[in-house]
Amino acid sequence: MKQLEKVLKEVAGIDVAQKELVVSLGRLLESLSIEIFAYKVFVNSDKGIQSMIEWVSSCCENAAQMRYVMEATGVYHERLAYALESMNIDLSVILPNKISNYARSLDIKTVTDKTASQAIAQFGL
């Protein structure tokens, strides 16, 4: 039986839009490999943010150590950033050019909300 690798870090990469939060969960394993292990879309509202936090907690080994990473997208990311900050949840708001330059290094053929959230998660890891 294969021995499970230790998880070193977990990140929620969030592509924030006016109406939705596209979330991909990733983890960095002891072998320094990256695994994207979950994906889900939520409404960009107070209720959607609460649902997202509950979902992330149910999917992760150590939700208290989870870092949420998002792009600074106009004003759309602000509700999420303020909500996470008010709950003392670790977050990083990254300039869009940093994410887009990193995403180019991943050789992503087609950019979708899902692939953007995966790139953000990998950037966070």
Q: What CATH number does the domain located at 7-124 have? A: 3.30.420.40
Q: What angle do CA 36, 4, 116 make, to 5 degrees?
A: 5
Q: What tens digit of pLDDT does each residue of 92-102 get?
A: 999 999 998 89
Predicted local distance difference test score (pLDDT) of residue 1: 37
Q: Where are the domains of the chain?
A: 7-124
Q: What tens digit of pLDDT does each residue of 18-38 get?
A: 999 999 999 999 999 999 999
Q: What tens digit of pLDDT does each residue of 32-89 get?
A: 999 999 999 999 999 999 999 999 999 887 766 899 999 998 899 999 999 999 999 9
Do the strands 20-29 and 91-94 form a parallel or antiparallel pair, or are they unpaired? unpaired
Which of these, 110, 61, 71, lies nearest to 91 by C-alpha position?
A: 71
